[in-house]
Amino acid sequence: MPVPTVIKTDGLTKRFPGVTALDRLTVEVEPGVVGLVGANGAGKSTLIKILLGLSPATEGTGQVLGLDIATQGPAIRERVGYMPEHDCLPPDVSATEFVVHMARMSGLPASAARERTADTLRHVGLYEERYRPMGGYSTGMKQRVKLAQALVHDPQLVLLDEPTNGLDPVGRDEMLGLIRRIHADFGISVLVTTHLLGELERTCDHLVVIDGGKLLRSSSTASFTGTTQLLAVEVTDHPVDRTFDADAVLTGRLTAAGLTVRTDGSRILLVELAGDDTYDTVRDAVDDLGLGLVRLEQRRHRVAEIFSTRTDEDGDTDPHADADGHEYEAGRADAYRAAAAGGEQA
């Protein structure tokens, strides 16, 4: 039976000595895949701890699956799965033994624990390796075991803390695919935290963005990415004239033809798609200038762009450039953003 709201918080506040980790957070999350976005230290892990009933909120109330976080912690923890961010696997036991033990710790009888372990490890894509000690596993395999132990007791909700951390692009895609399946095929709601914005739009139905413990935005992924379509255009340099600025001239031509054009900082022009004839306009303009067309592809607005435009418009609300000037953090977030965008083009 579906629960109307999976997570509901009202004015949730958590203060540590000298630090406010969560500041009057009011969110409502429906069944589905929900992304919890924020830079490191934004309060994501604190929120998860409070939702699991492990750490009392300083102020405010919250419910998980309709159960009160302050008083019904054990009942919540029976119905929720948690995949921590950090490594949590003892190296000298096999995945099977470990997951069976964790299933029993969730209250499953011994025989059910073994059966569910075999099923779950198969679903996350772990086969013969599951009998080997986990110390020899690759990062990808470890992440799968961590996911399996969160799913083994068939929870109604799983909290995944940075599940794609440390994975290569292929592993990341597989993990994101798994996360989609958890909701689509298994019928389990997912709250997934990440600081990689690029991952979310394909995976999540809903995004919650927090920064410095405050809620920045909570809305469906579709409203984040918008419906406007973009056309990515990349051209070669002029074959003869080296000083010829192909991008600038092309931008001028297209703007003159009534199209909205901007660059994304590299050699790619983003042209707003006005209709099918936009393709023709671009093709003709490039041909007319005698340039080579390297790339002509359709793109949606990216979640990342929402954030980069936020930076331009209003520095205060940007989640990565905080007032204390943590430039290292901000720089790293930019790098992630670029990496995420790059990964998606491939």
Partner 1 sequence: MTTRSDAHGGVIHDIGYRPYAGPRLGRRYATRSLYVQSLRAAFGLGRSGKSKVLPFLLLGGMTAPALGMLAIALFAQLDEMPMDYPGYLAAFAVLPQIFLAAQAPVLMSRDLRHHVVPLYFSRPATRGDYVAAKFAAMFSALMIVLALPLLLLFTGAMLAKFPVGENLLHLLYGLLAAVLYALVYSALGLLIAAATPRRGFGVAAIMGVLMISFAVANITYALNGGFDPTQESASWAFLISPSTLVEALVNQLFGLDADSPSALHAPDGAGTAVFTAVLLALTAGGYALTLRRYRNV
The footprint of partner 1 (CB under 8 A) covers: 52, 54, 74, 77-78, 80, 82, 84, 86-93, 97, 101-102, 104-109, 112, 116, 119, 122-123, 125, 127, 133, 149, 153-154, 185-187
Q: Which is nearer to partner 1, 186 or 279 (CB)?
A: 186
Nearer to partner 1, 54 or 294 (CB): 54
Residue number, 139 or 260, with CB nearest to partner 1? 139
Strands (E), 30-183: 33-37, 59-64, 67-68, 80-83, 157-161
User: Kind of pairing, strands 214-220 and 261-263?
Assistant: unpaired
Q: Which is nearer to partner 1, 10 or 78 (CB)?
A: 78
For 171, phi and psi rounded to 5 degrees? -60, -35
Closest to partner 1 by CB, 142 vs 195, is: 142
Q: Length of the chain in residues, anyone?
A: 346
Q: Measured between alpha carbons, how far is 179 from 173 in angstroms, rounded to an integer?
A: 10
CA distance 64 to 46: 15
Minimal distance in Å, beta carbon 8 to partner 1?
A: 20
DSSP class of residue 127 equals -
Q: Which is nearer to partner 1, 187 or 290 (CB)?
A: 187
**C-beta closer to partner 1: residue 90 or 239:** 90
Nearer to partner 1, 74 or 258 (CB): 74
54, 62 in Cβ contact below 8 A?
no
* Residue 82 beta carbon to partner 1: minimum distance, rounded to whole angstroms: 4
* Residue 166 or 187 with smaller CB distance to partner 1: 187
Q: Could you give the CA distance from residue 80 to residue 74 in angstroms, rounded to a whole number?
A: 10
Sorted by sequence, the CB contacts under 8 Å of residue 105 that are 6+ apart come out as none
Q: How far is the CB of 170 from partner 1 (least distance, A)?
A: 15
Write down the least CB distance from residue 186 to partner 1, Å: 4
What 3-state class would DSSP assign to 1?
coil
> d(Cα 60, Cα 68) in Å, to the nearest integer?
11
Instruction: Return all residues near 194 (Cβ < 8 A) that are at least 6 apart.
Output: 35, 36, 37, 162, 163, 164, 200
Nearest approach in angstroms of CB 52 to partner 1 is 5
Kindly state the smallest distance separating residue 23's Cβ from partner 1, in Å.
Answer: 21
Is there a contact between 228 and 250 (Cβ–Cβ < 8 Å)?
Answer: no
Burial classification of residue 325, based on how many CB atoms lie within 10 Å of its CB (0-12 exposed, 13-18 middle, 19 or more buried): exposed
Strands 261-263 and 293-300, by their bridges, are: unpaired
Question: CB of residue 130 vs partner 1: minimum separation in angstroms?
Answer: 14
Task: Compute the least distance from the CB of residue 182 to partner 1, in Å.
Answer: 9
Cβ 35 to partner 1, closest distance in Å? 20
